[in-house]
Amino acid sequence: MNDINFAVLGTGGIGRRALEVSADKDELTPIAACDRHGVAVNHDGLDVDELLAATEGNIASDGGTTVESGGDDIKEHGDDKGVVASTQAEPTETPIEDIIAEHEAIDAVLIALPNLEHDFIPTVAERFANAGYEGVLVDVLKRSRVIGMLDDREEQLEESGITFVCGAGATPGLLTGAAALAAQSFIEIEEVEIWWGVGLKSGYEDNRGTVREDIAHLPDYDIESARALSDEEIEEIVDAHDSVIEFNDMEHADDVLLERAGICDAEDVTVGGVLDLRNDEKPTTTTVKVTGRTFDGEVGTNTFELDDDTSMEANVNGPALGYLKAAVRRNWTGDYGVYGPAELMPGF
């Protein structure tokens, strides 16, 4: 397989870790990265160590400003914010457009931006297609309704030569794929239960994008109301839960992704979990349980567990880059369109 040149949209927690993990992924070369303040491009490969060192520091936030201009919550260093702290980067007001302008040199793009507008990620895909991009787009979105928006654009993506893998992080992503494998013992699926645990001792201050998007899953909130919350209001929500927030029956894309793969009906999938913002240890073991009926009439449950010592960053970024590699193989053989993580296996 030839080397894969890829770009990262967003250099918050997910984007930074993706760049770091790529050093241990064969055949991957990061050549571009951006956030809402700047863009770094080097067709020979970014100096990831310099970029990460330059942008290390407290995560900055604008209290919910639109991500349209490239926006994951970003790192701040000295007088410069985000990517522009790196000697490889330049400030820009149009970071996504600047990455799109380099599309002929890019085989794949990891969209590591919070989907705090329902149609943001589908719109980004549309912009790449309109520019004539032929390659791979991968995201780590969480919301079920976004999958339909991508499906609505599938014909355009196919005509443009784009292979899009949606929901390719941990959940949806790694755990969706695990559920699809666990389901193979059965001829009929009764229930899929996904229960995750994440420990982030660094707290809200260093994980603003993740926490804000998760809060949108609480009963009294949605994407719009969570996006409008100030940092102080989110801190109050975190404090009200004593820094440990439990989520039940979340609107998570695992349901529609398993349905589109023919595994089960979306209504048979439930997703929940616990986020601990005061400890790095996971508050609960991440588990997938698939209950079904076998061809000989027996009812059983296949269970998949993630080791408690694997971090959220490892479980999101390893699979995301693995799915990216698998999608590039598909794309290079002329296989275009929209895929979910249950429809292909990631490449190591």
Provide the number of structural domains found in the chain: 2
Q: Within the chain, which residues score under 70 in pLDDT? A: 1, 57-80, 115-116, 203-206
Co-location of 136 and 20 in the same domain: yes
Among candidate residues 213, 252, 282, 325, the one labeled active-site is: 213
Give residue 297's domain range: 174-308
Question: Residue 115: inside a domain, yes or no?
Answer: yes
Q: What is the pLDDT of residue 65?
A: 35
Sign of torsion over alpha carbons 333, 339, 341, 343:
negative
**Angle formed at CA 334 by CA 329 and CA 339, multiple of 5 degrees:** 65
- Tell me, yes or no, if 217 is annotated catalytic: yes
Is omega for the bond preceding 172 within 30 degrees of 0, making it cis?
yes
**Rounded to the nearest 5°, which phi and psi values hold at 118?**
-55, -40
Integer Rg of the chain from CA? 19
- The conformation of residue 308, written as its DSSP 8-state character, comes to T
Record the tokens describing residue 198, joined without a space. Answer: 């994440």
Q: What is the pLDDT of residue 77?
A: 41
- Sort strands 108-111 and 136-139 into parallel, antiparallel or unpaired: parallel
Alpha-carbon span 140 to 94, nearest angstrom:
22
Question: Residue 103: inside a domain, yes or no?
Answer: yes
Question: Residue 78: inside a domain, yes or no?
Answer: yes
**What number of other Cβ atoms are within 10 A of residue 341's Cβ?**
33
Q: What is the pLDDT of residue 74?
A: 40
- Tell me, yes or no, if 325 is annotated catalytic: no
Among candidate residues 37, 75, 81, 142, the one labeled active-site is: 142
Co-location of 80 and 125 in the same domain: yes
Co-location of 76 and 139 in the same domain: yes
The CB-side HSE value for 142 (13 A sphere, CA atoms) comes to: 25
- The conformation of residue 347, written as its DSSP 8-state character, comes to P
Co-location of 86 and 213 in the same domain: no
Q: What is the pLDDT of residue 143?
A: 82
Which of 271, 268, 249, 74 has the alpha carbon at shortest distance from 170?
A: 271
Question: Residue 187: inside a domain, yes or no?
Answer: yes
Co-location of 9 and 131 in the same domain: yes
- Tell me, yes or no, if 25 is annotated catalytic: no
By three-state DSSP, how is residue 229 classified?
coil
Q: What is the pLDDT of residue 46?
A: 96
Which of 299, 271, 303 has the alpha carbon at shortest distance from 290?
A: 303
Which run of H or of E encompasses 125? helix 120-130
Co-location of 150 and 186 in the same domain: no
Co-location of 162 and 52 in the same domain: yes
Co-location of 132 and 190 in the same domain: no
Co-location of 331 and 208 in the same domain: no
Residue 57 belongs to domain with CATH number: 3.40.50.720
Q: What is the pLDDT of residue 70?
A: 40
Among candidate residues 25, 77, 81, 217, the one labeled active-site is: 217
Q: Whole-model pTM?
A: 0.88
Per-residue pLDDT reduced to its tens digit, 199-232: 887 766 667 777 888 888 898 888 788 888 898 9
Co-location of 21 and 161 in the same domain: yes
Co-location of 57 and 181 in the same domain: no
Co-location of 184 and 112 in the same domain: no
Q: DSSP assignment of 142-183, as one string?
A: --HHHHHHHHHTHHHHHHHT-EEE-S-BTTTBHHHHHHHHHG
Question: Residue 348: inside a domain, yes or no?
Answer: no
- CA-CA distances (angstroms) from residue 79 to 24, 48, 82, 205, 306? 32, 21, 10, 19, 40
Alpha-carbon span 286 to 260, nearest angstrom:
23
Whether the CB-CB separation of 54 and 77 falls below 8 Å is answered with: yes
